[in-house]
Structures are given as C-alpha cells and as structure tokens.
Chains A and B, each alone.
Chain A
C-alpha cells in the first residue's frame, strides 16, 4: 500500500468573476518530498496555495492534504505556511510573535518556549528576541516568518517565495533549512521565482501555466548525461572544427570558443585526444547539462504564458 500523499489535488479550479485563475490543478506530492512549483507571473501559483490552505474556496475540484480534506483543523495543526506578501503584527516582539503562533497551534507552554529559542537561534534572530517586529528589516521579517511557519514542527510546509527580500546569506540559510526539513522527513511545497533555488533544493518540480500543470520533472533527470560541451581553445582551424562533427551536432566555432551538442559524456575523452592530436591548445572543456532555466523557457514559452 502506498503512503498517504502530502498533497493530492484533482482538477482544482478557481474562477474569479469572468477570470479563470486556476483552470484545473491536478497534482500529487509524496510525503517527505521537496516539491517546487514553477510558473510565470499570473499562472495561478499563489491562488493554488491559497486554495490548499483554505484561504480561498475552490470553484470546483477536490484536494486532500496529509490525507485530510481541506480546512480540517487537525490537518492544519500539522501544516506550516509562509505567505508571499505578508505583514505581521508589527507591535509584537519576535518572541511574542512566535508565542502567539505557537499558542494558536495549542502548543504546551514549556515545549513552545524551547521551540521558540531553538527557532530564533536557527534563523539567526536570537539576539533580537525582545525587539519589536516594526524595527525589523525585510530580510529579518522573512526569517521570523519562516520560524513562524515551522513553530509546530509541521509535516508539510508551504513556502511562498521564501527568499524574496533575502540577501545571499539569508538565501543560503533558507536552503539549509529546507535541506534539514527534508532530512527530517518533512514535505516542503516551495513556490519560487528563483530557478537556482529550486534547482538545488527540490526533488521534483511542476511547471504550471494558466493554472494547469503542464509538466512535472524529476530534478534527478537534470543530473544525467551532459547534452552539450563548450570548449575554449587556441589554434582552431576550419578543418579541425569540421572534424568534430563525427562526435556531435551543431558544431559552432567563434574565435576561441567552440560548442557542440553531444549524446553523452563518453565522447569527451575522444574529443580531447583528437584536439590535442591536431595541435590545438585547450584552456577549458565544460560539459553542459540541460538547465532548469532552459526547460522553464521551453515549457512555459518565451512569452511567459501571457
């Protein structure tokens, strides 16, 4: 028997007046998975998350989180959520803020106090625990927001653009926290514009466009064989360049730069031997894999799905 999925949606749809925000979202995220949600602006990503969290009522379709129907209170007790555009109770201090959210989760006082200390430490805000949120920078608010989403040690966390407003150090922190969550078996549903973010943290990604999943991709697939190689070398003659056609296609030479599409990394030593044999001086040889960015553009289109 298969484990209960963290998220399962069937033809989830939301229509606002005459505008269809989400056409029909069908999705399955397994427990313990870090799942990326990708799509151009206005593709319905935030609306989808809001439907899953019962902030918005779906027009039609159905969904279950952790095996329970949407809005179920026991289930919500096992969920964490960092919204995209948020303003928190700015007059609370960092500690009071986390205390409030822990209390709303009905956490026992001593457990909560320990959890708050651990989380403030983890997001690097321990020394600001007594400071009011109104004095926080955008990055600090993002960090406290993340701590808020993890206060109840959730089984499933929704992060809507968790790195917006964060500097590189903050981004690294979020990345590490997501990695730790995965190690603990927590499912993470990550909505981000930053493809590099998704690339390093996610197990799978769904591309959505016009509120529909157009493609689901295993990130492991991107770690397979290289699909191209770029070479920097001196002493390239037209003849040498022509000779490369036996190992690949679309050979393009431009000054010292040379690139060609290849079928696998087996051909790399052969190409190197050939170039050395032709008295070419090689300064660099870089096998290239399909990037998420390239797949993104290919999947949602240059127009961004507008």
Chain B
C-alpha cells in the first residue's frame, strides 16, 4: 500500500480527533459522564449500605452466610449492569451525533472541498474520520466504564466477571452505531442521519425486549421477531451479549434482573455484528467516492 495513502488517513484521523475534542458535543458528553459517575457512586453507596444492613439482619435471623453473601453480590452486580447500561447509552448517543454531522456537515459547508482536492483518496477521508472517532469513543468508553467499575470495586470490593469481554462488546456496539451514522452521513443531511440512526437504535431496543419476553414466555414467534431486528441492526444484541458476559452466574441462570439477559445472543451474532460494521464502513466509502460534492 502506498505510504502516502496511509499517512493521509492518519492526518485525517488526527484532525477528526482534535476537532471533536474541541467541539461542544464531546465536552457535553464528558460533563454528562461525570454527572453520571457522581450520581451512580452516590446511589451505589446508599443502596449497598441498605444491602449490608439487610444481609446483617438476615444473618441475625439465622440465614446461612453463603446465601446472604450471594444476595449481596446479586444486588451489586445488578447495580453495576444498570450503570454499564447507562454508560453504553451515553457512548452510543455520542457515537451517533459525532458520525451524523461529520461528512454531511462538511459537504454542506464546503469544508470538504479543499480536503478532497488534495492528492489523497476519498476513502482516506472516510477511514480517517472513522479512526479518529473510534479512538475518541474508545477513550470515552474506557473512562466511563472503568470509572463505574472502579466506583463499585472501591466501595464493595466487587468486580464483574468477564469485565473486559463485556467492555469490548460495548465498544463494538458503539463503533457500529458510529459507523452506521458515518455511512448515512455520506449520503444524507446530518439531521436525516441522526433520525435514521436513532430510529434504528430504537428498533433494536424494542426488538431486543420482544425477544426477551418471547423467551421468558416461550413464544417462538416473538423470539424470531427479536432475532430479525437484531439482523437489521445488531446493536442491542451486542449489549445483551455484553451484559451476559458481565452478569453473575446465578442471576444468569435465574434470569432475575432487568439488565441481565434471558435470550443470549450467540457468538455468531457477534461475528455478524463485526461483518455488519465492515460492510457499513465499505458502503460509506463507496457512497462518498461516487457522489458529487
């Protein structure tokens, strides 16, 4: 591969990263994130306090110590998953907004014109933007997820099983939403892109719940509806796989918390999501290469 193609991709990536950092949206995301961490940590402090009291009184009433420990762990795990769900949502919202404005906005203002008339490929522009956002979202997610996990660990000594696997899946979900947003942004206006992406995300969300309930009620049709929406956009199923990785083994077996998952998306679905992401990126490049600017 031509060295300059690689270099120009990195130049665009760096530009994209720096631009996003100087924009209000990232600042807003960070502020919201910090607010979330404060609220979460405070809530966690009081709720675990309550849980400790309950387990103490259970023990006083002669309940087996093993059982009280399990009850405590279950409570903490559920809180952690709820926190991770919020982190995921914040990351996805940022991914959608970052991707939506970038190409559409620059095409609209004409900023793109002096960029693509340089000796670089249009594909480098799309890849570069993708890389820049991927780095930014990665940092954001690590900051938020590690902050949440750290808050839980410092207060209770609890750490979720397979936390890194869960984090990787949430990152994949975030990247997928960003990629879809970037792809739409190469063809439509920023506003239309935002509408499409949030619409798809909502569809996946509803589909995911239909599948969950279908699974609980053992209704095969409902489960299939859920699977089909996961094929249209596999974002929610990635979250459910992530939650499955991070949930405590017992709640997984019992399906007892609203953030744990009953119908677990298979690894095949994860593979499908990766393929989906690559296809969306390729599609975005193709559209951008073939359109008038």
Query: Which residue numbers of A lie inside 8 Å of B, CB to CB?
Result: 50, 53-57, 73-74, 76-77, 79, 81, 83, 85-89, 91, 100-101, 103-106, 145, 148
Give the number of residue pairs across the A-B interface with Cβ within 8 Å.
66
Are the CB atoms of A55 and B293 closer together than 8 Å? yes
From B11, B114, B290, B293, give the contact of A81 (CB < 8 A): B114
B5: min CB distance to chain A, Å = 9
Are the CB atoms of A106 and B117 closer together than 8 Å? no
11 more contacts with CB within 8 A, not counting A54-B117, A55-B116, are A56-B293, A76-B118, A83-B114, A86-B110, A86-B113, A91-B22, A101-B118, A103-B11, A104-B8, A104-B119, A105-B118
Q: Which residues of B contact A100 (CB under 8 A)?
A: 11, 15
Q: Which residues of A contact B117 (CB under 8 A)?
A: 53-55, 76, 79, 81
A263: min CB distance to chain B, Å = 49
Are the CB atoms of B120 and A73 closer together than 8 Å? yes
Q: How far is B111's CA from A87's CA once the two chains are assembled, in angstroms?
A: 5
Are the CB atoms of B118 and A86 closer together than 8 Å? no
Q: How far is B234's CA from A23's CA once the two chains are assembled, in angstroms?
A: 47
A130: min CB distance to chain B, Å = 16
From A74, A85, A91, A104, give the contact of B118 (CB < 8 A): A104
Are the CB atoms of B119 and A106 closer together than 8 Å? yes
Nearest-CB residue, chain B, relative to A16: B292
Q: Which residues of A contact B290 (CB under 8 A)?
A: 57
Size class of the B contact interface (CB-based, 8 Å): 20 to 34
Q: Which residues of A contact B114 (CB under 8 A)?
A: 81, 83, 86, 88, 101, 145, 148
A74: min CB distance to chain B, Å = 7
Q: How far is B113's CA from A100's CA once the two chains are assembled, in angstroms?
A: 14
B144: min CB distance to chain A, Å = 25
A256: min CB distance to chain B, Å = 52
Is B50 close to A, CB under 8 A? no
A278: min CB distance to chain B, Å = 63
Are the CB atoms of B111 and A57 closer together than 8 Å? no
From A54, A89, A148, give the contact of B19 (CB < 8 A): A89
Are the CB atoms of A88 and B111 closer together than 8 Å? yes
Majority secondary structure, B binding face: helix
Residue among B8, B15, B117, B293 with most chain A CB within 10 A: B117
Nearest-CB residue, chain A, relative to B111: A87
Are the CB atoms of A55 and B113 closer together than 8 Å? yes
B100: min CB distance to chain A, Å = 18
Q: Which residues of B contact A103 (CB under 8 A)?
A: 11
Q: How far is B120's CA from A198's CA once the two chains are assembled, in angstroms?
A: 32
Are the CB atoms of A73 and B15 closer together than 8 Å? no
Are the CB atoms of A83 and B110 closer together than 8 Å? yes
B76: min CB distance to chain A, Å = 43
Q: List 15 A-B contacts (CB under 8 A).
A: A54-B116, A55-B292, A56-B292, A56-B293, A76-B118, A83-B110, A83-B113, A85-B110, A89-B15, A89-B19, A91-B23, A104-B115, A104-B119, A105-B119, A145-B114
Is B69 close to A, CB under 8 A? no
Q: How far is B23's CA from A104's CA once the two chains are assembled, in angstroms?
A: 23
Are the CB atoms of A87 and B109 closer together than 8 Å? yes
Are the CB atoms of B113 and A91 closer together than 8 Å? no
Q: How far is B58's CA from A43's CA once the two chains are assembled, in angstroms?
A: 86
Residues B183-199 near A (CB distance < 8 A): none
Q: Which residues of B contact A145 (CB under 8 A)?
A: 114
**Hey, what's the 0/1 contact readout for B92-111 against A, CB within 8 Å counting as 1?**
00000000000000000111
B110: min CB distance to chain A, Å = 5
Q: Which residues of A contact B292 (CB under 8 A)?
A: 50, 55-57
| Contacts A55-B292, A57-B292, A74-B119; A89 near B111 (Cβ below 8 A) | yes
Q: Which residues of B contact A56 (CB under 8 A)?
A: 292-293
Q: Which residues of B contact A148 (CB under 8 A)?
A: 114
B17: min CB distance to chain A, Å = 12
Q: Which residues of A contact B11 (CB under 8 A)?
A: 100, 103-104
From B109, B120, B293, give the contact of A104 (CB < 8 A): B120
Q: Which residues of B contact A101 (CB under 8 A)?
A: 114, 118
Residues B16-46 near A (CB distance < 8 A): 19, 22-23
Are the CB atoms of A73 and B110 closer together than 8 Å? no
**Hey, what's the 0/1 contact readout for B1-20 against A, CB within 8 Å counting as 1?**
00010011001000100010
Are the CB atoms of B8 and A81 closer together than 8 Å? no
Q: Which residues of A contact B162 (CB under 8 A)?
A: none
Q: How far is B118's CA from A76's CA once the two chains are assembled, in angstroms?
A: 6
Are the CB atoms of B110 and A106 closer together than 8 Å? no
Are the CB atoms of A77 and B110 closer together than 8 Å? no
Is B121 close to A, CB under 8 A? yes
Are the CB atoms of B7 and A106 closer together than 8 Å? yes
Are the CB atoms of B4 and A106 closer together than 8 Å? yes
